[in-house]
Amino acid sequence: MKVETREWGTLEVADESMVHFQEGLLGFEDLRKFVFIDEEAFRPFVWFVSAEDRDVGFAVADPFYFCSGSYNVSLSAGDEALLDLEEGDSIAIFVIVTVEDTGGRITGNLKGPIVLNTRNRLAKQVVVYGASYSVKEPMLSRRVVPLHSAMASAWAKG
């Protein structure tokens, strides 16, 4: 599948690396197809790009770059339905990263992480209730197991 990007032109992306949203990201409800672009130079982030709008792309990362304790995400019945979650499925959880235009402060949205069902590539932005996580958690300086190690097979660039 071909993905148009503004800076990098057309990328050929393996179909199995696509991520599908049955209910788009909040504010981007019409965009249902995204891909991970994992470049060495992006790490510890992964570029998460819309396959339908070349102006929409996010930096995403493992939540533990922004979370000093445990990170608990509970899925509602609705979340599970939209992920078509079945017994034995594996899920990946990642957060959207914001880089401030001025000052370059890096924060992660722990209040609204993205959950991906790795079996069927269905994803959903969920809302974490009952915890004090914010949409702007500052990045921690420590290093953790990076997201791309969990997603090494998630993309191909031709």
Partner 1 sequence: MLIRTRKLGENIRIGDKIKITVLDVKGGQVKLGIDAPPHIAVHREEIYQKILEENRRASGISPSTLKEVAATLQPRKRKRRGQEGS
Dist. CA 124–CA 82, nearest whole Å:
7
Q: Are strands 57-61 and 91-99 parallel, antiparallel or unpaired?
A: antiparallel
Residue with Cβ nearer partner 1 (16 or 39): 39
According to DSSP, residue 22 is labeled S
Touching partner 1, residues 123-142 (CB under 8 A): 125, 127, 129, 135-136
Q: Are strands 46-50 and 9-12 parallel, antiparallel or unpaired?
A: unpaired
Q: Which of 55, 88, 152, 158 binds partner 1 (CB under 8 A)?
A: 55
Q: How far is the CB of 158 from partner 1 (least distance, A)?
A: 16
Confirm or reject binding of residue 118 to partner 1 (CB under 8 A).
no
Q: How far is the CB of 155 from partner 1 (least distance, A)?
A: 13
Residue 114: what are its φ and ψ, rounded to 5°?
-105, 130
Site map (CB under 8 A) of partner 1, residues 72-111, x = contact? ----xxx-xxx-------------xxxx----x-x--x-x
Stretch that binds partner 1, among 3-11, 12-20, 85-93, 147-155 (CB under 8 A): 3-11
Dist. CA 117–CA 112, nearest whole Å:
16
- Give the total of residues touching partner 1 (CB under 8 A): 44
Dist. CA 5–CA 63, nearest whole Å:
26
Q: Which of 2, 15, 41, 70 binds partner 1 (CB under 8 A)?
A: 41
Dist. CA 83–CA 119, nearest whole Å:
10
Q: How far is the CB of 26 from partner 1 (least distance, A)?
A: 4
Confirm or reject binding of residue 44 to partner 1 (CB under 8 A).
yes
- Other beta carbons within 10 angstroms of residue 105's beta carbon come to 12
Confirm or reject binding of residue 58 to partner 1 (CB under 8 A).
yes
Chain position carrying tokens 């994992």: 38
